[in-house]
Chains A and B, each alone.
Chain A
Amino acid sequence: ETGVTQTPRHLVMGMTNKKSLKCEQHLGHNAMYWYKQSAKKPLELMFVYSLEERVENNSVPSRFSPECPNSSHLFLHLHTLQPEDSALYLCASSQMGDYGYTFGSGTRLTVV
Chain B
Amino acid sequence: ELKVEQNPLFLSMQEGKNYTIYCNYSTTSDRLYWYRQDPGKSLESLFVLLSNGAVKQEGRLMASLDTKARLSTLHITAAVHDLSATYFCASPGVGGGADGLTFGKGTHLIIQP
Docked Cα-Cα span, A108 to B105, in Å, equals 19
Chain A contributes a number of interface residues (CB within 8 A of B) equal to 24
Q: Answer whether residue A48 sits at the interface, using C-beta atoms and an 8 A cutoff.
A: yes
The B interface is mostly helix, strand or loop, or mixed, namely loop
Given contacts A94-B98, A99-B48, 6 further A-B contacts (CB under 8 A): A42-B103, A43-B101, A45-B100, A55-B97, A56-B100, A90-B42
Return the 9 tightest CB-CB contacts between A and B, nearest first.
A31-B98, A50-B98, A43-B103, A45-B100, A42-B105, A103-B43, A105-B42, A48-B100, A103-B42
Docked Cα-Cα span, A94 to B96, in Å, equals 13
Q: Which positions in A face B, CB cutoff 8 Å?
A: 30-31, 33, 42-43, 45, 48-50, 55-56, 58, 90, 94, 96, 99-106, 108
Residue interface bits B73-113, CB-to-A below 8 A is 1, else 0:
00000000000000010100000111111111110000000
Q: Which residue of A lies closest to B90 (CB)?
A: A43
Contact A55 B98 (CB under 8 A): yes
Contact A96 B101 (CB under 8 A): no
